[in-house]
A and B are shown apart, each in its own frame.
Chain A
Amino acid sequence: MEYLAAGGAPSIFAQMFGSGLIGLREGLETGIVVMILVAFVVKSDRRDALKWIWTGVAAALVMVVGIFLIIHLGTSTVTTLTAELIAGLASLVAVAIVTFMVLWMSKAAVHISSDLKSGMSEALVAGGASVLTLSFLAVGREGFETALLMVGYAESVSGGLWPLLGLVLGILVAVIVTVLLYRGAVRLDFHKFFLYTGIFLIFVAAGILSYGVRALQTVGWLPGSNSLAFDISEHYDQSSWYGTVLAGIFNVRPDPTVLQVVAWCLYVVIVLFFFLRANRPRRAAPPTSGSPSQAPAATDAGT
């Protein structure tokens, strides 16, 4: 993959492609969780909850743009390590909320009946704050990093617009991928939808968790940033299209630390176990005790 033009500077194609991949990765990281949230409320016939999601998204976008303007026009900037730390902590919070959501979905999938919608209504009305927070965090999780990234582009514009154009194209591709995934998801029947998006979401969340762990290791809040579990970067090109897509959706990287792998495995095993247990074939499902007026529990781990 050599696209070097004469004269040392990368060729236009290389400039656009490189930035395009950044845009694609950041776009997917941001968009996937929001997409699932939207699919989830649409699928449950709760379009009125969309306003919470879009409010969260809008708030995060305003925050990112605000930070961008403050840094770009002002005399201060955020240290990259601080941005990393904030992204790490926000990721952990996002994972916590996603986990409750997934486990709640698993209950919902069990009770496919008329009382689901009323239960769902209560959950969403009461949980407006959590839906809003989750969409805010999904978009704003890397808000500071994204703002710093944008500042980098804004300050490099003098060197040519190709990288910026590439970035925008990359984001567009991410949007298209997200929309296609959404279309595919909402076509599924109700039960399958919950099952598949639930499993998908668990892997997405595990990736976000592992990302958060890595970020906190980088800034020194967690130990072990130097002990890699394995490193297959020889055979796995992180900066290829597939590496970018996998990094964007599942936060895959070819050189995770031991702690990242441990956190990822523990999360997937534990949450998937509870999720699938609740999703056992319905013959074997325990008698339901959910009455319409009862707010759903966050988790049935205690049953």
Chain B
Amino acid sequence: MNPRITTPIALLSLGVAAPLLLAGCTSKEGTDDAIAVTSTNDACDLASSEAQTGNVNFAVTNNGSKVTEFYVYGNNNRVLGEVENIGPGLSGNLTVDVTDPGTYTVACKPGMVGTGIRKEITVTGEKKAKEEVPADVNAAKARYLDYVRGQVNGLAAQTQIFVDHVNAGELDQARAMFGQVRTFYERIEPVAESFPDLDPAVDMRWDDTEDGQQPFTGFHRVERGLWPPQPAEVGEAPGQIAPADAANAKAQDNEAAIKQAANDLLANVNKLKTEVDKPDFTFETSQFVQGPQALIDEIAATKVGGEEDRYSHTDLWDFAANVDGAETLIAEMQPMISAKDPALMDKITAQFADVRTAINQYRDGDGYVTYTQVTEAQRKELSNKIDALSASLSQVPGLVLG
């Protein structure tokens, strides 16, 4: 009864219980595909002895006169799941996350003792990684989803104006806002990339068309129409326009085709908006935690040479937008990173400031200078800062999910 001893014990136990509880939360599975198990005093009947890897559901009904239990065992009799206290006439549900294919033992235990009546089930399918997402990550994901929806709504509104300009033949206004429209898309690129059809349709480059064999659509097709390739820009180096690309532009980029491309772009952007606005829209946790690094690597790996906006040279808008997106993601995860590795968080913050400063020196009014004004040496310097940030960001997924 010594409070000096018992009170800390009590507090400690509550502190331990809360995270455990969160870690142990699982979604209620629909029981349509559940394996029906009937337990009686001397039998354990399974409707099926086959299952797929992932969540395996059991619906256990007790038709015996004794209280029963149902267990699922892995190797060495390790308990993977159990449901206790199923009284006569009652049923209980159990969901077990089975990661590896193989043979598993299940048991009904009428009378709640002993090894029970054992049966085997065969689990087939691919090995699945155990999915245990910490609750704070899910909360951060939910907040980030709001940001994504906001950006996509902004993208849809701005694309509408942009396409209206193209359709009205107001090409100077269209050119003036091109970089800004793309900003909304580039900020949320990791999420946009989870749409395997929409992302290429909206954001493909000439390089993705297999030298013109596939239709060239999206932002960059409209861009090529607005900034027709000049002979001086044609070449094979990164950031230059390929000869086939220039030839294709000459042949195909007439006014009607560009208007068509712009209207298709608008349709696809609106499709994207519809998808992310759906209440049940979700994206992979892996995309979320790897998102910052993915965005930053985008710049270093595929943009710093000027490949992204090779016709308009509005690349710096994209860089800034990628950094915005990465910073937003990190801001959502900051509490988790700080809790586990405050030094890393400080480093990431400093490196973001570094990259931001490097990009800001090219600001020009509301936007950025054309990327052709950034020299090779300056590009290299930017690229180095980005690589340093990327190295720090690569530690985030393991830290946050670990």
Contact of A81 with B2 at beta-carbon distance under 8 Å, contacts A22-B87, A93-B13, A159-B91 already known: no
Separation of A145 and B84 alpha carbons in the complex (Å): 9
Q: Please count how many residues in chain A sit with their CB below 8 Å of the partner chain's CB atoms.
A: 78
Contact A152 B85 (CB under 8 A): yes
Q: Which residue of A lies closest to B111 (CB)?
A: A239
A78 pairs with B89, CB closer than 8 A: no
Residues of B within 8 A of A166 (CB): 87
Q: Taking the complex as formed, is A270 at the interface, i.e. its CB lies under 8 A from any CB of chain B?
A: no
Q: Are B17 and A100 in contact (CB under 8 A)?
A: no
Q: Is the CB of B84 within 8 A of A18?
A: no
Q: Is B159 among interface residues, defined by CB-CB distance under 8 A?
A: no
- Grouping DSSP codes into helix (H, G, I), strand (E, B) and loop, the B interface class, with mixed when no group exceeds half, is mixed
Which residues from 85 to 129 on chain A have a C-beta closer than 8 Å to any C-beta of chain B?
85-86, 89-90, 93, 96-97, 100-101, 104, 123-124, 126-129
Taken residue by residue from 154 to 178, chain A's Cβ proximity to chain B (1 for < 8 Å, 0 otherwise) reads as 0110011011001100000000000
Q: How far is the CB of B195 from chain A (nearest CB, A)?
A: 25
Q: How far is the CA of A296 from the CA of B41 in the complex (A)?
A: 54
A79, B89: Cβ atoms closer than 8 Å:
no
Task: Give A218 Cβ to nearest chain B Cβ, in Å.
Answer: 5
**Is A21 engaged at the interface, CB distance under 8 Å to the other chain?**
yes
Is B88 close to A, CB under 8 A?
yes
Contacts A78-B26, A82-B24, A86-B17 hold; do A296 and B1 have CB atoms under 8 A apart? Answer: yes
- The answer to whether B78 and A220 touch across the interface, beta carbons within 8 angstroms, is yes
Q: Are A298 and B87 in contact (CB under 8 A)?
A: no
Residue B374 at the chain A interface, CB threshold 8 Å: no
B10: which A residues are within 8 A, CB to CB? 93, 97, 129-130, 133, 137
Q: A10-B89, A86-B21, A149-B85 are in contact. Are A101 and B112 (CB under 8 A)?
A: no
Alpha-carbon separation in the docked complex, A240 to B183 (Å): 71
Q: Which of B77-127 contact A (CB under 8 A)?
A: 77-95, 111-114
Q: B114 contacts which chain A residues (CB < 8 A)?
A: 231, 233, 255
**With the chains together, A296 CA to B372 CA distance in Å?**
82
- By beta carbon, the residue of chain B nearest A145 is B84
Q: Mark A238-262, 1 if CB is under 8 A from B, else 0.
A: 1100000000000001110000000
Whether A298 contacts B65 by the Cβ 8 Å rule is: no
- Cα A153 to Cα B90 in complex, Å, equals 7
Measured in the bound complex, the distance between the Cα atoms of B380 and A53 in whole Å is 70
Known: A81-B82, A82-B20. A76 touches B26 (CB 8 A): yes
List residues of chain A with CB within 8 A of the CB of B79. 81, 218-220, 225
Find chain B residues with CB under 8 A from A225 CB.
Answer: 77-79
Given A3-B65, A76-B26, A253-B113, A129 contacting B87 (CB threshold 8 A): no
Select from chain B the residue with minimum beta-carbon distance to A156: B90
Q: How far is A90 from B14 in the complex, measured between Cα atoms in Å?
A: 9
**What are the 10 closest A-B residue pairs judged by CB atoms, nearest first?**
A82-B24, A298-B2, A130-B6, A19-B87, A133-B10, A18-B88, A15-B89, A10-B88, A14-B65, A233-B113
Interface residues, chain B, with chain A CB atoms under 8 Å away: 1-7, 9-10, 12-13, 16-17, 20-21, 23-28, 41, 62-67, 76-95, 111-114
Q: List 14 A-B contacts (CB under 8 A).
A: A10-B63, A11-B65, A14-B64, A80-B94, A89-B16, A90-B13, A100-B5, A104-B1, A133-B10, A144-B21, A152-B90, A163-B90, A239-B66, A298-B2
